[in-house]
Structure formats: structure tokens, C-alpha cells
Amino acid sequence: MPHTDGSAQLTAALDAASRDWRVFPLIPGDKRPAVSDWETRATTDPDRITRAWSVAAFNVGIATGPSGLVVIDLDKPKHPEDTPPAAWAEHSVTDGADVLAVLCERHGQPFPADTYTVRTWSGGTHLYFAAPEGEPLRNTAGDSARGLGWKVDTRAWGGLVVGAGSAFAGRPYEVTRNAPVAPLPAGSPNSCAPPRCLRRHLSRSPSPARDGAPPSSAPRSTGKCSGSPAPARTSTTTRSTSPRSPSDSSLPEASWAKPT
């Protein structure tokens, strides 16, 4: 069971900060930020972190952009009706990891598993990568026109991930591979491997208004690089790729203020 006194979360926050990842408090047992302006206020300062996590057992938020990270989020279905679109289902995929495996196989790339990895509360996977220098990469959503595919999200500038040592719905986020963070793969120079498409998707402003589908056996032109996921249908629902801060912060702002 997750610790409730904050000691485990404090240890996890300090561990993340020691890796030069910018952290900030999330509401205890939740994914929402407990402070405003979390991306600009995330820190590696151990004194600020210790002071904040002494208030409550906050979950650990990691601001991916300022931390120089791109995190690929391979999600699991949330309920029995949460099934893949037909174009993905024909590849017998069951979750985001399957989708990424299909993309990697299609482009002759190995599955990028040799990096720091966290198992999420739902049984999904967060693959951590070092963002390439000089490229301000953005978030993508799996069900968007610029996403990589069903149940595959990415978090970079403007995004956050829930760090190891946190818990949601009573289930923990746990490190499953404590390896160095690998560079975000670039793909071969003359191919459109998934990571190369990933960089193109991430470098654009997010517009998550459509569902993504996998490339067909004979890729058709979509206005993007050949072989990238093509939009399957237009959705009437849009959702933001940037988490919202709660109006009533669970952490007194003074506890997260920079020392004067």
C-alpha cells in the first residue's frame, strides 16, 4: 500500500530532483497539480522540496519540458468498451505498448525499452527519454490527428508526468527499469521511423481534435511523413493536453515559494 505520511513521496521527489528533473507537488492521491504555474515553478531545490512534502503526502509531479524529458505514455484500456479503432484492431493490439510495437516493427526499429521506465497505476508504462537539444518538442495525444496512435501519448514542453513513488486510486507508480534515460531515438536518416515522426509531431502545436489510426499496408499521403498514423475520423470532443491546476491549491503557496 502507498505510504500516507509523505516519507515515501518525499524520498521519490528528492530522487527525481537528484536526476535534475524539475518536480512539484500534485494533490495527494491525484494527478492534478497542487500549485499554480507548476511548469515554471518546478524545482530541483532539496530544501523547497523537503519543506513542501512536510505539509502532506503529495504525489510527485515532474515537469517534462524543463526537465529535458520526453516521456512516451503507453496506456491500458480503462473499461471493457475502451477498445481500439478498427484500423488498429486488425493488428490485434490491446494497449499502447502493442501499438508502439506495431509501429516499430513496421519501420524496422527495435522497441525502445532500454531506458528509465515506470509502471503506472493502471498497469501502463512511462518510457523516459532525453529530449534532443535545440528542438522545443510538445505534447501529443494518441487519439489526435498528430498523435502516434491509440493509447500512445507523449509528454514534453507543456506536459507533466506523475512520478514514481506516487499513487492513484490506491495503486502505485513504480520504477520497473532503473536505467539511465536514453536519448530520444532519431530513426535512420532515410526512413520515417516512429521516433522521427514523433519529433515532427511533437514540434507542432498540439491540436488534439481527431482520433488516430495506424498506417495501412500501402501508406497513403497524409501531408506528413510517409507511413505515419493517419486520422481515422473526426471527433466532436476536444481535450487539452496540458493538465489544469486546481482552483483551490492543496499546498499553501508559502510552502512552495522560492526563498527570498
Distance of alpha carbon 213 from alpha carbon 141, whole angstroms: 12
Give the Cα separation of 191 and 222 in Å (integer): 16
pLDDT at 201 over 60: no
Residue spans per domain, the chain: 7-235
pLDDT tens-digit readout, 61-117: 999 999 999 999 998 878 887 787 777 877 888 877 888 888 888 878 888 899 999
Handedness of CA 246, 252, 256, 258 (dihedral sign): positive
pTM of the model: 0.77
The angle formed by the CA atoms of residues 152, 58 and 162, to the nearest 5 degrees, is 10
Q: Cβ distance 52 to 25 under 8 Å?
A: yes
Q: Which of 15-19, 22-26, 170-174, 232-236 has the weakest average pLDDT?
A: 232-236
pLDDT of residue 202: 57
d(CA 13, CA 147): 30
Residue 161 has pLDDT above 70, yes or no: yes
Q: How confident is the model at residue 128 (pLDDT cuts 50, 70, 90)?
A: very high
